[in-house]
Structure 1
């Protein structure tokens, strides 16, 4: 085997190696790399070093790939020339033939095949080739630093951009992907299911909005500021709550709240024990809300919609329940109706949340930002609050209203329509 042929094979193999590593690194789950690194895996510890500057590692692979392709092009022409003697009279035809053949070989062997292979099993491939990958990364580091520095200077001077910045080792997307892949394996222990649910709920705090889990306006327990203290005591006793909102004239003008402990001070009027309360938009994320409530030592807030109208209220317990699930305490005394009448036929409270019903019964009720409960789903579709005894077919559901008020639905019978094949 001649030297040019050996160099062509080596350069082609290196090009395939660099192309594969590039796509594997982009496709890999950075969180899994960090997780395996913490476990002491030597190969992932090497990869973690490269993952600290993702753009630098990718640049190093591109540098290696380009060097390999240049070497391939230099020696491939020497190999092809003897086979293309019949085109020697036409330099353009000879160059065209060499370019087409070289391009086809590169695309097939150095691009398509390695990228398909490495992208299908990125973590495995990165682990297998971790040592040479990091070795080449360190080897090309001076060149990469020069390229990155020049690129950043060019982008900053001519486009006002910051250029390549160091990114986090892993993102929220990587964590979600890892959890999904782990749960999809079907090897989850019963003891782990609750922990995984809590973990997922914690991840969702950054995207869930206050409107998704607040106490809605129709369920707020409140009292007019001009009412007597005796009425306030009745409300505390009747509803078994520790806090009651106080409004002036209407629920849209909330002036504060009263804690049940304040009544031990024997106040003469409601105004003497009113505590200040703050307002937040319903579009605020659960993560921002939790941070605010803990930092500012707040336990209850009023939620406003985009028009400044009272949309609901939120407590610290509501936020905690978003992570850990329903918490039963001395104030949660009301059981919402929830009964299976027969297969695909249920008696349900209109206040039950859509996500809860879908998870427990697999109903497939469509979700929307316009509503979060079963009652909200029905009233949103009908564009009104139906009366007792009304019947409606909404998408795949046969619904009968059992009990309702002028403000919300209390009980409904829901039957999922199953089409016979």
Structure 2
């Protein structure tokens, strides 16, 4: 093979390497880099040295890329010029001049297209997709060029910093190697995706993921719905209230006037030891919050006012549900079960593509634990909510509803809600 062809191929390879490492360094997850730097071995040391001065690393990659492109342009221009001359040999001055002009335009177009695909577009896409892996694998050659071009990159950075300070009145451009909340979320998501279906997710990882999502959770996603509220009428007797406490095992019971939409407070079980004559005499005020309010804001409100329960209101001012501090804390640490909690949600995998679920199960919970891809939306949280949202009504028992690649059969239903659903997954043949 001709020496010039080898040099052209090598220059394209180096250009692809420098372009790819630049985009890999920018796209790599900062948490992943920091974790790799904590490991033992030569790769960890290389990454530590490379990331010590990010701006210098990027400058080095740009310098290397430009050198490779200059060498490529010189030898590629010669090669194409010789090729055109051999292709159309002529001794006529007019044709020679025309051929020279045509060859210059052609070699520019051909050289540019080759560079765009082999040294810019393809490597940048590849290095961006596999940025974490390739940055670690190619750390040693990257460090070699980092040292080789260190004097040039130092000079370039000093000149650019001077221009920024003098003409643009800004400080030098020094990229900080810090990670964001989004990068932490991406890293945890990658970890979760590697967990097999039958494996347990580490509790610490789950808490991290819950904490990242905590600021985006609204009251309606956490509340106990209106249909499951246990409450007593204001004019009821303390004797009946005592009986209700014993039956439910709750420590607090809401009190309403006329209807559940007019909750006026709650009663704590220890107040019954005072032997009250009326429920009103032991009534305690309750906090009201809209269903669109973020639970972190609700937690702040309840903490400041020393309350443990809030009534969630819908857009019309009616009672949508209730929530306690325990419900909010469970969003971070998972379910906190006590002696009065009962697990009545049905979860069953009948066969490979058929499941039975309680309609109260949340869609994201099903997707996470059963690796399904049920459609999620802002308008609903539960499996029952998904079906009602898509159909516009509560389907009758034994009705089949098809949504995307899923067929839902209503197994149990009441006048106000869906209770039990079978889900069949349709797979492509």
One of 399, 402, 413 as aligned partner of 1:392 = 399
- Residue-by-residue CA offset, 1:134-169 (whole Å, 9 max, x unaligned): 556896366457658978999999xxxxxx996773
One of 102, 124, 143 as aligned partner of 1:115 = 124
Q: Is the 8 A contact 1:245 1:254 kept in 2?
A: yes
Distance 1:173 1:385 in 2: 38
One of 124, 127, 140 as aligned partner of 2:153 = 140
Shift of 1:230: 3.4
Matches within 5 A, 1:73-88: 73=73, 77=77
Q: Which residue in 2 is equivalent to 1:325?
A: 334
Shift of 1:244: 1.9
Q: Which residue in 1 is equivalent to 2:346?
A: 338
Q: Is the 8 A contact 2:24 2:128 kept in 1?
A: yes
Q: Is the 8 A contact 2:357 2:423 kept in 1?
A: no
- Residue-by-residue CA offset, 1:35-76 (whole Å, 9 max, x unaligned): 223445664566467669978865764465346535654676
Q: Is the 8 A contact 1:398 1:415 kept in 2?
A: yes
Q: Which residue in 1 is equivalent to 2:187?
A: 178
Q: Which residue in 2 is equivalent to 1:69?
A: 69
- Is 1:131 the counterpart of 2:126? The answer is no
Q: Which residue in 2 is equivalent to 1:21?
A: 21
CA spacing shift, 1:23–1:261, aligned 2, 3 Å: same
Distance 1:113 1:376 in 2: 44
The two structures have a TM-score, normalised by structure 1, of: 0.72
Q: Which residue in 1 is equivalent to 2:178?
A: 169
Shift of 1:249: 3.9
Paired residue total? 410
Shift of 1:315: 1.4
Shift of 1:200: 3.6
Shift of 1:265: 4.4
Q: Which residue in 1 is equivalent to 2:239?
A: 230
Q: Could you say what secondary structure the match of 2:19 adopts?
A: helix
Q: Could you say what secondary structure the match of 2:344 adopts?
A: coil
Q: Is the 8 A contact 1:304 1:311 kept in 2?
A: yes
Structure 2 unaligned regions, length at least 5 = 90-94
- Residue-by-residue CA offset, 1:368-416 (whole Å, 9 max, x unaligned): 44443454455556655578xx4422222332446x3x5445x547475
Shift of 1:24: 1.8
Shift of 1:349: 5.0
Shift of 1:304: 2.4
- Residue-by-residue CA offset, 1:346-365 (whole Å, 9 max, x unaligned): 88655444455566677876
Q: Is the 8 A contact 1:211 1:282 kept in 2?
A: yes
Q: Could you say what secondary structure the match of 1:140 adopts?
A: helix
Q: Is the 8 A contact 1:47 1:134 kept in 2?
A: no
Structure 1 unaligned regions, length at least 5 = 158-163
Q: Could you say what secondary structure the match of 1:263 adopts?
A: helix
Distance 1:17 1:345 in 2: 48
Q: Is the 8 A contact 1:52 1:167 kept in 2?
A: no
Alignment RMSD (CA, Å): 4.9
CA spacing shift, 1:138–1:20, aligned 2, 3 Å: farther
Greater Cα shift, 32-41 or 4-13: 4-13
Q: Which residue in 2 is equivalent to 1:160?
A: none
Q: Which residue in 1 is equivalent to 2:30?
A: 30
Shift of 1:5: 9.6
Distance 1:138 1:210 in 2: 58
Distance 1:23 1:341 in 2: 44
